[in-house]
Structure formats: structure tokens, C-alpha cells
Amino acid sequence: MINKIKVERAILDITQEDLAEKIGVSRQTINSIEKNRYVPSTILALKLAKVFNKNVNELFELEGNE
């Protein structure tokens, strides 16, 4: 699973800390999501999509044989 969180965050010009605060998680969790070390739950994915005003499909993408 790859995601465009970092790109979208750069467009909105917000820090990992700001984003973490908006969706109620820790900054480390945002960092892990951006580095594809952690795949968030549907609820968290929807919260992220709401912050960036995008569909979940636009933020997250399956890769390879997933």
C-alpha cells in the first residue's frame, strides 16, 4: 500500500504534528503512515481523506500483488 499523505500535507503546508492533532493520533503514527510502515484503519483513512478533502482512493493505492 502506498499513499500520498506527505504530498498532500506539503500542499496544505501543515506539519506532521498539525495533522496528528487534527485526526487525534501521535506524530509518530503520521510518520509511520507516510513511510508506509503502518496501514491505517478505515476510520483513520477516512479522517485523513476529510482533512485533505479527497477520496480515500486518491490518498491510498494498492501496489503490486496486494
Partner 1 sequence: MNVEKILECEREQLQKINFLPYLFKKIGFGLLIISLISLVSLTFLDNSSVLIKNISKSVLLISLLLISISMEKNEDEYTMQLRARSYVLAFIFGIVYAILQPYINYVVALILKKESADFEELSSFVIIWFMLFIQLGFYYTLRRTR
CA 57 centroid distance within chain: 11
Tell which one of 19, 40, 48, 51 touches partner 1 (CB under 8 A): 40
Our CB check for partner 1 shows the closer of 13 and 37 to be 37
64 touches partner 1 by CB under 8 A:
no
- Within 20-39, the residues that bind partner 1 by CB under 8 A are 24-26, 28-29, 31-32, 37-38
49 touches partner 1 by CB under 8 A:
no
What is the 3-class SS of the chain, one letter each residue? CEECHHHHHHHHCCCHHHHHHHHCCCHHHHHHHHCCCCCCCHHHHHHHHHHHCCCHHHHEECCCCC
CB of 20 to partner 1, least distance (A): 8
